[in-house]
């Protein structure tokens, strides 16, 4: 066990809980104008490879499961053949929650924390992953987020019904990291209730659990449209 020196003596520092990552890349990319975003080229390689590599090389992550469409199982297995942390590539479900659940089921019995990552966030960094895993280690549930810059309106029937106070709003990113048992229970409960959850935090929040927010990264964008892909390419050039 590691020891860290502090001013008043020595104290023990517990190692991080064993964390497995589920990388979700099972969408149909309906807003990409015919581009398959999972396999879209980013600096000479498919986007999914960049996403997986960052988790492969992050010390906080011990194993990886990739969830994707059936037609991409073999291509992604070949692309990720050299990543030894990738333990399985599995077929996703009818929606995100089902896909995440399938990924969780493929993790090993060693896993205590589960990090859920969008496959279409290829600019994720080790720093954001590490911060979020460490927060989840302490709090049981954590997610990175960045402050919202625009004023947000709640619109009903084409008419503004309210304007939330901007300083209270944050845009949540991935990876979202949870105690594995907690996340499984939350997703199971949401399915039983027929509740639509937009992200994994939403499922956990329904159980009355708090999610710790940590500092995200403005470059950790989700590629959803062709414009997003163009922006990701520019950001990648800037990061290198």
pLDDT of residue 1: 42
| Three-state DSSP class for residue 77 | helix
b/e 159-190 (16+ beta carbons within 10 angstroms → b): eeeeeeeeeeeeebbbbbbbbbebbbbbbeeb
pLDDT in tens, 96-144: 999 999 999 999 999 999 999 999 999 999 999 999 999 999 999 999 9
In tens, the pLDDT along 135-179 reads: 999 999 999 999 999 999 999 999 999 999 999 999 999 999 999
DSSP 3-state of 102: helix
Among 105, 107, 106, 130, CA closest to 55: 130
Please report which helix (H) or strand (E) contains residue 128, including its range. helix 126-139
What is the DSSP annotation of 141-166?
EEEEEEE--SPP-EEETTEEEE---G
What pLDDT score does 228 carry? 93
What end-to-end distance do the CA atoms of the chain give, in Å? 35
pLDDT higher than 70, residue 2: no
Taking a C-beta distance cutoff of 8 angstroms, is the pair 75, 39 a contact? yes
The pTM is what?
Answer: 0.91
% residues pLDDT > 70 (the chain): 91
Q: What is the pLDDT of residues 206-228, one digit of tens each?
A: 999 999 999 999 999 999 999 99
């Amino acid at each position: 066990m590691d020891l860290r020196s502090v001013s008043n003596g020595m104290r023990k520092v517990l190692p991080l809980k064993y964390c497995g990552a589920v990388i979700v890349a099972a969408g149909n990319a309906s807003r990409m104008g015919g581009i398959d975003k999972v396999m879209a080229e980013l600096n000479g390689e498919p986007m999914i490879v960049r996403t997986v590599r960052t988790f492969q090389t992050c010390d906080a992550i011990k194993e990886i499961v990739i969830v994707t469409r059936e037609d991409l199982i073999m291509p992604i297995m070949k692309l990720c053949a050299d990543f030894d942390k990738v333990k399985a590539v599995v077929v996703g479900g009818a929606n995100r929650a089902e896909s995440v659940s399938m990924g969780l089921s493929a993790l090993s019995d060693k896993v205590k924390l589960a990090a859920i990552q969008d496959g279409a966030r290829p600019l994720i960094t080790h720093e954001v992953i590490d911060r979020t895993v460490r927060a989840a280690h302490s709090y049981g549930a954590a997610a990175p987020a960045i402050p919202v810059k625009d004023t947000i309106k709640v619109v009903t029937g084409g008419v503004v019904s309210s304007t939330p106070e901007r300083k209270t709003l944050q845009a949540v990113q991935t990876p979202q990291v949870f105690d594995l048992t907690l996340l499984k229970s939350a997703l199971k409960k949401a399915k039983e209730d027929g509740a639509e959850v937009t992200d994994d935090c939403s499922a956990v929040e329904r159980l009355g659990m708090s999610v710790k927010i940590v500092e995200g990264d403005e470059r950790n964008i989700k590629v959803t449209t062709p414009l997003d892909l163009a922006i990701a390419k520019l950001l990648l050039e800037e990061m290198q």
